[in-house]
Chain A
Amino acid sequence: MADADVKTPVAEGGEAAPEAAEEAPKKPVDPDFEPEIIVFACHYCAYAAADLAGSMRLQYPSNIRMIKLPCTGKLEVIHLLKAIEAGADGVYAAGCLEGECHYLKGNLWARKRVNHVKDLLAEVGIEPERVEMYNMSSAMGAKFAEVATEFTERIKALGPNPVKRAGVDAHAAAREALGGAAMPDDPATSAATSEEGHAE
């Protein structure tokens, strides 16, 4: 079920998809574009899955930069908006499998909020596909790499965030918006959040 979610993630972006397809010829994909992607990862699943992906030596794009949360339920609408406002090209939340949240329903709340942010972005003329919600367990290292790759490809196809400004660090802005809700990185996985990337 979770795999099906990954393959058809744009449930809310149905309206925007045809427009994007129409605009595609006007906005050719820049082969050199390297998107900046913020991942809000749950401590109990996605963050551990990222660790596992590293241990398994799986390759995934170095475009993603993680912020660890105690639960994706901690994520609020403003946190996702601030990341986009600060110029992140894409933002996704990665929480536990539905029904397996450590705090029972945090990931379900996160999905609702992500969907609400999609509506808000559509209102201001930003592609709703730039935000997404994924679910995975801590044992799904391969899924983590697959999601990171798929989402990065999606954002590469969309092109840069139209409100990106030079000199604004989206990752730092997203962390700041979260305040004390963001957890410090584990030393073992801190490479995943550094500028240089990881899993080389």
Chain B
Amino acid sequence: MITAERKPLDEILALVGDKKKVLVAGCDTCVAICLTGGEKEAEILASELRIKAEQDGREAEIEHTAAIRQCEWEYLDMIADKVKDADIVVSMACGIGIQSMAEKFSPQLVVPAVNTNMLGMPQEHAVWLERCGACGDCVIGETAGICPVVRCSKSLMNGPCGGSHDGLCEVKTPEKEDLDCAWHLIWERLKEQGREDLMIKNRPPKKWNLSSSGGPRKMVREEAKPV
């Protein structure tokens, strides 16, 4: 799923400025599952903003709402009245939802309250790990179902590099103390699958033009377009 983390309150306050009627809009899909921007979290942020406004002696009407999905026009219709009534919308959706909101309700001011950070897998409750880089040219059919694009720190297509030690990656930060070497994982699983030969297969440069480096992407399914 798409994951996001809430911005620090000071950053949100700077974006809101002195606007009086504020609508905090959550999204009840991906960001709700990662406990960042669903209706619950929108209510918490709205409460924080009200307490802050009261503290600062500012007059403000701060409410919260949530769309089932902020990234689809139909669901945005369901919160349209509240959005149009506000001076500013603080969206807790991912970057897609925020932009959908800004586009649909233009010129309504829509600002983000979260930083969208990855396509992550919930490894355990409250822990997410990056699993896909949406590179547009999937290679995991040959890498034992393990993505070298995002799980290898160097996105190597022909790994591992010399920085692989005891199954761990040399790239270490306090948050990534036990970062697995993706290519070590690939080797171990290829052995289990009896496909060790794929490890020494040379992979030519990837088609990065299919990734975001080729400019904004567009997908059209002609057969599914309305007639």
Contact = CB atoms under 8 A, between A and B. Distances in A.
Contacts of B207: none
A163 B55 contact: yes
B42 to A, nearest CB: 10
A12 interface: no
A77 to B, nearest CB: 6
Nearest to B52: A124
Nearest to B40: A78
Interface in A45-87: 76-78, 81-82, 84-85
A194 to B, nearest CB: 27
A126 B50 contact: no
By CB atoms of chain A within 10 A, which of B40, B43, B54 has the most? B54
Interface in B23-58: 40, 43-44, 47-48, 50-52, 54-55
A77 B44 CA distance: 7
Contacts of A121: 51
B44 A123 contact: no
Interface string A112-142: 0000000011011110000000000000000
A84 B48 CA distance: 10
Contacts, number: 38
A124 B55 contact: yes
Interface residues of B, number: 12
A125 B44 contact: no
Interface string B4-34: 0000110000000000000000000000000
Given A163-B54, A163-B55, A124 B44 contact: no
B16 to A, nearest CB: 13
Contact of A125 (B8, B43, B55): B55
Contacts of A27: none
A162 B43 CA distance: 21
Interface in A124-182: 124-126, 162-163, 165
A78 B51 contact: no
A76 B47 CA distance: 13
B40 A125 contact: no
A85 B44 contact: no
Interface in A95-126: 120-121, 123-126
B44 A81 contact: yes
Contacts of B44: 77-78, 81, 120
A123 B48 CA distance: 8
Contacts of A84: 51
A129 to B, nearest CB: 16
Query: Top 7 nearest A-B pairs by Cβ distance?
Result: A163-B54, A124-B52, A81-B47, A123-B9, A124-B51, A85-B47, A124-B48
26 contacts: A77-B40, A77-B44, A78-B40, A78-B43, A78-B44, A78-B47, A81-B51, A82-B47, A85-B47, A85-B51, A85-B54, A120-B44, A123-B8, A123-B9, A124-B9, A124-B48, A124-B51, A124-B55, A126-B51, A126-B55, A162-B54, A162-B55, A163-B51, A163-B54, A163-B55, A165-B54
